[in-house]
Amino acid sequence: MSGTASAAGGFPVSIDLVVEAEGWPPEAELETLVQQSLDAAAAFVAADFAEAGEPEQGASELTVAFADDARVRELNRDFRAKDKPTNVLSFPAPAMPGEGPVFLGDVVLARETVAREAEIDGKPLDHHIRHLVVHGFLHLLGYDHEDDEEAEVMEGLETRILAHLGIADPYAPVGDDVAPGDAHRTTG
């Protein structure tokens, strides 16, 4: 299934949604979650780019795949030399010259890991899916969290996007026994 998200003040994003594994919410629900999440992200990213004096992001395309732990473990092993599943992986596409929408790449989520993290963190599954879709999308646009400065920028942007969607800060501590700064972090 595919659709297009276009945020007011943002840029249009065409989505190719692929459900590779059983156990995810219904495809129509996933389509809505992804479209709404990318719509909000596109608006915030456009504002972020404008504030930084960077060129506008034009019409874009990406694939969002809803897979399982086995598939994500395989991808993580083959492309990152980490033989374990993770919640989300992003695969930026190489820049291609030409007209029309820019293909950004692929975002792949792992069902069992995503569901387990949502349960552990006590958050609705759809909130965690939205967060990981936004996180993966930002990676495709060049954001990263390899050092503290990058992480602060990327996580701050994610938090603002998710707040716009009515979702609590995913990096805030969870529960009474969690020390500040020990909140669940995305790994992809």
pLDDT in tens, 19-33: 999 999 999 999 999
Least confident of 48-57, 81-90, 148-157, 164-173: 48-57
Q: Does some domain include residue 149?
A: yes
Q: How many CA atoms lie within 13 A of 34 on its CB side?
A: 29
Q: Does some domain include residue 187?
A: no
pLDDT in tens, 75-119: 999 999 999 999 999 999 998 877 778 999 999 999 999 999 999
- Residue 108 in contact with residue 91, Cβ under 8 Å? yes
Count of domains for the chain: 1
Q: Does some domain include residue 6?
A: yes
H-helix or E-strand spanning residue 109? strand 102-110
Q: Does some domain include residue 179?
A: no
Give the CATH number for residue 122.
3.40.390.30
Q: Does some domain include residue 38?
A: yes
Q: Does some domain include residue 16?
A: yes
**What is the secondary structure of 25-93 as a DSSP string?**
SPHHHHHHHHHHHHHHHHHHHHHHHHHTTPPPP-SEEEEEEEE-HHHHHHHHHHHHS--S--SEEEEEP
- Residue 15 in contact with residue 38, Cβ under 8 Å? yes
Q: Which CB contacts under 8 angstroms, 24+ apart, belong to 119-125?
A: 120/174, 120/184, 121/170, 121/174, 121/184, 122/174, 122/175, 123/168, 123/170, 123/174, 125/25
* Rounded CA separation 42/44 (Å): 6
- Per the document, the length of the chain is 188
Q: Does 127 count as an annotated binding residue?
A: no
- The residue segments making up the domain with residue 13 are 2-164
Q: Does some domain include residue 178?
A: no
**Residue 43's pLDDT band (cuts 50, 70, 90):** very high
pLDDT in tens, 135-151: 999 999 999 999 999 99
Q: Does some domain include residue 76?
A: yes
Show the tokens assigned to 95: 């820049």
Is the pTM above the cut of 0.85?
A: yes
